[in-house]
């Protein structure tokens, strides 16, 4: 398991870990994200004081469901500033899985929309705020019309 790091194998100058990992170990389907393809990661780190630290990047393609039209769409999770830090507490192996999972979860949109990735436009149409303002203007316009008509009648 590449995401489990044996501490005694880390050179004093630090280590570098990159590769791909089966994303199913992260249990992302629980949060409605179905992984498409492996997780790619590139991490560099080492031991400082009593902790293990690593920085780097990771990316993963997932399938998400749009909150508006309920269609499924592909979304690329790209985290360029992964920062992992954990206490060693006498351990010899650091399992990065839960730490990386946290970073992936943070990168997921809270309300995924199929049009969030540019070229697509969401087929679901909801009354937008702009439309609400417009209809308000319409009523005020008719109110002015009514007032004008009233004045015309008064003057004639
Ligand atoms: Zn949509």
Q: What digits encode the pLDDT tens for the residues 128-137?
A: 555 545 455 5
Q: Is the pTM of this model over 0.95?
A: no
Q: What is the predicted pLDDT for the residue at 117?
A: 74
Instruction: Collect residues with CB below 5 Å from ion ligand 1.
Output: 66, 68-69, 114, 122
**Cα angle: 53, vertex 3, 6; to 5 degrees:** 70
C-alpha dihedral, 143 to 147 to 150 to 156, nearest 10°: -140
Q: If you measure from the C-alpha of residue 128 to the centroid of ligand 1, how many angstroms do you get, rounded to a whole number?
A: 15
For residue 10, what are the CA distances in angstroms to 4, 14, 56, 139, 142?
A: 12, 6, 16, 71, 76
Sign of torsion over alpha carbons 57, 39, 26, 32 = positive
Q: If you measure from the C-alpha of residue 116 to the centroid of ligand 1, how many angstroms do you get, rounded to a whole number?
A: 9
């Amino acid at each position: 398991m590449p995401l489990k790091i044996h501490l005694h194998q880390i050179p004093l100058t630090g280590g570098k870990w990159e590769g791909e990992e089966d994303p199913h170990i992260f249990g992302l389907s629980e949060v409605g994200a179905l992984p498409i393809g492996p997780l790619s990661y590139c991490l560099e780190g080492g031991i400082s004081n009593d902790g293990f630290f690593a920085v780097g990047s990771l990316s993963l393609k997932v399938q998400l469901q749009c909150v508006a039209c309920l269609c499924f769409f592909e979304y690329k999770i790209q985290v360029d500033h992964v920062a992992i830090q954990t206490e060693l507490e006498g351990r010899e192996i650091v399992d990065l899985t839960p730490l990386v999972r946290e970073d992936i979860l943070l990168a997921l949109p809270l309300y995924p929309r199929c049009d969030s990735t540019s070229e697509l436009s969401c087929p679901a149409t909801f009354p937008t705020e702009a439309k609400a303002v417009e209809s308000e203007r319409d009523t005020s316009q008719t109110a002015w019309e009514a007032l004008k008509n009233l004045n015309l009648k008064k003057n004639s």
